[in-house]
Amino acid sequence: MFKAKSSLIVAILFSVFILVFAVSPSNAQKVIKVGSIQSLTGPAAPWGIPIDKGLHVMAEILNEAGGVTVGGEKYIFKIYSENDKFSAKGGRAAAEKLINRVKVKYIVGTWYDAALMALRHFSNENKVIVLQGSSGDPHTIGPKYPYLFRFTQDPRGKLGVLDIALKTMSFKKMAIFNVDTALGRGNSAAAADWAKEIGIEVTDNVLAPAATTDFYPFLKKVLDHKPEMIHGSISPSKYALVCKQAHELGYRGYYSNVGSLTNVKGMIEIAGQDAIQGYIAPFEDMRCPAITEKNRKLMTKIQKRYLEKYGPPFEPLAWRYTIGLQVLAQALEKAQSFDPDVVVKTMENTEFDTLLGKGGFAGTKTYGIQRQLIINTIAAIIKGDKAEYLGYVTVKRP
């Protein structure tokens, strides 16, 4: 009996020793906290969800490769996700939580204007580095916000989809059709400028109320002017409704959207396959010649891990937003410092090797500060029930 009790005590003490040793500071992994604010619910969720998933997958892959080494010590990334609910209130609450409670010093991937407006204030106040995505307002970055960098296209850069379209198809008359959000307003202005520059006639520039689902009255007026392209920046499910209703009214031209193409199957289910033919949008594709073989292998790895972790479908938009984490990792390793001002200076003077090509931050003439990454816009067109590679353009800002 005594021996049994002694054995039990020894076992318990050994277990406690192992537990203490496992979580002791000498063995604990040093963590870099990274925030991700995305629209995880609401009409923009088809964009927000794959972006967030992609960031988690890229963090895992970077960590498995050893994370980053700064000052002779290794660090791993941990993503903290918050839902902005595609609302200004949700965006502000997410920003406050991540910066004031979670104490992140880096936020990657946020693209919704309302969230970015809140982030700018907190970023300045706390020297939090924000690597933002594509907002509707091009001037979310600027000299007043030195800790904000945009690593995807600005609104004019996303119009690369139209530059690509013009290389492979002919259209001379275009209607600009958006809903009244920051994203829609920003695109309406940028698209009008693009059309003037290229010599395309804008037949209409429409902003429907943000909550609209019955687009027939607006489309009927638009179609009276016989556009050959309907262009906008509308969430995928809503744009599918636009396609469906325009097709029912007799439209047989092209569509373009600067919002990334996601959930092709779901869009076809809403619009009908015939209605959505000729729909052009950003869509990352490994067939793009700007992508190196090394990065194709990494994209394949990301896709495989994404599908294992979350199941199908894989959304290529996830690839584009993992670039933000690549930029952060490379900047920290080169800076060999966590001092935000040192990291900012390093980011200004580094050429980054990303999934979709090499490039540094530019934009001093355009935005008054060097904060826009030189990046490639890749586009696809819906043919049949699939998205087919259409082409790419490199976006540079002087």
pLDDT digits (tens, 9 = 90+) for 261-306: 999 999 999 999 999 999 999 999 999 999 999 999 999 999 999 9
Going by pLDDT thresholds of 50, 70 and 90, the confidence category of residue 16 is very low
Map out the domains of the chain with their CATH numbers. 30-153+287-376 (3.40.50.2300), 157-282 (3.40.50.2300)
Judged against a pLDDT cut of 70, whether residue 10 lies above it is answered with: no
Mean of pLDDT values over 311-323: 95
pLDDT of residue 28: 61
pLDDT digits (tens, 9 = 90+) for 28-45: 689 999 999 999 999 899
pLDDT of residue 19: 36
Task: Tell the residue number behind the tokens 């918050």, with chain if given.
Answer: 82
Going by pLDDT thresholds of 50, 70 and 90, the confidence category of residue 183 is confident
Residue 3: its H or E element: helix 2-22
Q: Which residues contact 390 (CB under 8 A, 6 or more apart)?
A: 164, 165, 168, 280, 379, 380, 381
Number of H helices and E strands in the chain, helices first, is 14, 17
The phi and psi torsions of 35 (rounded to 5 degrees) equal -90, 150
Residue 174: its H or E element: strand 173-179
Q: What is the C-alpha separation between 295 and 278, in angstroms, rounded? A: 29
pLDDT of residue 395: 86
Q: Where are the beta strands (DSSP E) in 209-318?
A: 229-232, 254-257, 279-282
Mean of pLDDT values over 233-237: 91
Half-sphere exposure of 96 (CA within 13 A, CB side): 7
Judged against a pLDDT cut of 60, whether residue 136 lies above it is answered with: yes
- For residue 89, give both structure tokens: 């209130």
Mean of pLDDT values over 379-390: 96
